[in-house]
Amino acid sequence: MSETRLSPTRADLLAELNATRPVKVIAVTGGKGGVGKTTVSVNLAVSIAAQGRNVMLLDADLGMANVDVLLGLHTRFHLGHVIKGECLLEDAIITGPHGLQIVPASSGVKHMANLSAAEQAGIIRAFSDLYHKVEVMIIDTAAGLHESVTTFSEAAHHVVVVVCDEPASITDAYALIKVLSREHRVQRFQILANQTRRSGEGVELFKKISKVCDRFLNVGLEYAGCIPFDEYLRRSVQHQTAVVDAYPASISSIALKKLASTADKWLVPQGARGHLEFFVERMVGAELGSLTVLQ
């Protein structure tokens, strides 16, 4: 007797994905421009993808996007097209090294740098309709305190603050932590020292920020490590390749891969947190799934 099998519909696929594991969402931010947010985002995403995980990288520097340029990739559509309704989010996704799935944004489009709260929420919700397998999503945010930075950081599970040992970077990082904690319910931060030039510099930088945060804010800071200043990293940018692929034995690559292993251990909150967040259905679905298993 032959059995008729229906091919799964998109709704079936979505339901299956939503019932599996929640997606770990990590926002990479920093306050000040040029501290290394994009460099860290790209190399962290590539390193985790190289470990065999399904990784998505969202370029959330919406008006000055450059993730695709750093990786030498060509884009047809970007988030600007998604917002205008000219394509679906899934049409904009391009594939990078080790199967990394990249959501590109636009560069030099003023409107994209000033999206309304509703448009930002629309982007976050659009991820819920994706049927792609994703275990980790990295978000490269813009510089400054623009609403997109705070909205995307609040909608993530972990916030990495990239800091360099210079006064403006430290004060901007503090300002960002203050706004995110007081106005956006982010209470835990991973501090990553970048472009360090001597051993011990990263820990000292972490202590400086911790001291002032402990005094004035009610937040928990963790030290995520340090990425040394590395000429090989600059060279890899010229080759439009992630340094972890171009120069895997370089000092920055070793530190970035260590960060990837650290981030792999960060936990995903159990269940939805009651505000706008990425892939919330997969979180609720996983929670319901584990309840079913327990029964």
In the complex, the residues that contact ligand ATP under the rule CB under 6 A are 30, 33-39, 61, 143, 194-195, 227, 229-230, 233-234, 237, 252
| Residue 120 interacts with Mg ion (CB under 5 A): yes or no | no
Of 37 and 158, which CB lies nearer to ligand ATP in the complex structure?
A: 37
Query: Cβ-count burial of 121 within 10 angstroms (0-12 exposed, 13-18 middle, 19+ buried)?
Result: middle
Residue 89 interacts with which of ligand ATP, Mg ion, none, CB < 5 to 8 Å by class: none
The nearest distance, CB 171 to ligand ATP, in angstroms, is: 15
Of 38 and 107, which CB lies nearer to Mg ion in the complex structure?
A: 38
Kindly give, in sequence order, each residue whose CB lies less than 8 Å from that of residue 285, ignoring residues fewer than 6 positions away: 15, 17, 18, 19, 20
The nearest distance, CB 124 to Mg ion, in angstroms, is: 20
Interface residue with Mg ion among 18, 29, 38, 107 (CB under 5 A) is 38
The nearest distance, CB 151 to ligand ATP, in angstroms, is: 17
Kindly give, in sequence order, each residue whose CB lies less than 8 Å from that of residue 246, ignoring residues fewer than 6 positions away: 232, 235, 236, 239
Which ranges of the chain does DSSP label H, i.e. alpha helix?
10-18, 37-50, 67-70, 79-83, 89-92, 110-113, 117-126, 147-154, 167-183, 201-216, 231-238, 243-246, 251-265, 280-294
Of 69 and 276, which CB lies nearer to Mg ion in the complex structure?
A: 69
Of 230 and 281, which CB lies nearer to ligand ATP in the complex structure?
A: 230
| Residue 181 interacts with Mg ion (CB under 5 A): yes or no | no
CA distance 127 to 281: 10
Of 32 and 257, which CB lies nearer to Mg ion in the complex structure?
A: 32
Kindly give, in sequence order, each residue whose CB lies less than 8 Å from that of residue 198, ignoring residues fewer than 6 positions away: none
Residue 190 interacts with which of Mg ion, ligand ATP, none, CB < 5 to 8 Å by class: none
Residue 194 interacts with which of ligand ATP, Mg ion, none, CB < 5 to 8 Å by class: ligand ATP
Residue 39 interacts with which of Mg ion, ligand ATP, none, CB < 5 to 8 Å by class: ligand ATP
CA distance 205 to 159: 17
CA distance 217 to 223: 17
Report helix, strand or coil for 178.
helix
Interface contacts to Mg ion, rule CB under 5 A = 37-38, 61
